[in-house]
Chains A and B, each alone.
Chain A
């Protein structure tokens, strides 16, 4: 158990809908990262928040948005869903800000999204 929690575990929805994925980082971790894992693309970095502020953006679509709240939990909002958004969405956390540079990230169990 990494200490990172994600809800829900599974989500089935229809095209055009909006969903919210939730992540709670490990106790003491200030950074939260969101990743998308699809069969054809593998793992891709979406966005990072550090202590409530956006710190880095990756391949995140304009239909997607995220935020980190004062209690450090984070939400990833996906809107106008398309079939191609079906994927596993992982949240990870780390203590500091440099998640790619010399810092271990701890991954949550993921949310499996299926868009029909």
Chain B
């Protein structure tokens, strides 16, 4: 079993829809990261969170530490949101604190 599981693997939406991507992890963490990878390959860090909720524009990320679960929401989705969204965790285990472990990503396609 992977330490970080994402669902769904693929998601197709119509422009304007509310989107949710889920991430579950099995280890104790110090922080969880959401990354966006554009079709050209570049990776951008969207959020880093260790508790609660963060919002940036139309993007909202939440985390429940007790349930080891995080969600990334996109409100009023747009075709330019089409990308792979990757969840990554920074373990809370001594010397391995420096290593991010990644989920396999969710491919989001937003159709106009």
User: Chain A residues in contact with chain B, CB under 8 A?
Assistant: 2, 33, 42-45, 48, 55-56, 58, 88, 90, 92, 97-107, 109-110, 112
Q: Report Cα–Cα, A86/B44, bound state, in Å.
A: 22
Given contacts A102-B30, A105-B45, contact A45 B105 (CB under 8 A): no
Whether B100 lies near A105 (C-beta < 8 A) is: yes
A107 to B, closest residue via Cβ: B43
Q: Report Cα–Cα, A101/B105, bound state, in Å.
A: 20
Whether B88 lies near A43 (C-beta < 8 A) is: yes
Given contacts A100-B91, A106-B45, contact A42 B31 (CB under 8 A): no
Jot down 24 A-B pairs with beta carbons below 8 A, ordered by A: A2-B42, A33-B100, A42-B86, A42-B105, A43-B86, A48-B98, A56-B99, A98-B90, A99-B90, A99-B99, A99-B100, A100-B96, A100-B98, A100-B99, A101-B30, A101-B98, A102-B30, A102-B48, A102-B90, A105-B33, A106-B45, A107-B42, A109-B42, A110-B43
Size bracket, chain B contacts: 20 to 34
**Given contact pairs A42-B103, A100-B89, a sample of 16 additional A-B residue pairs in the complex whose CB atoms are under 8 Å apart:** A2-B42, A2-B44, A33-B100, A44-B102, A90-B43, A99-B98, A100-B30, A100-B90, A100-B96, A100-B100, A102-B90, A104-B45, A105-B33, A106-B45, A107-B42, A107-B45
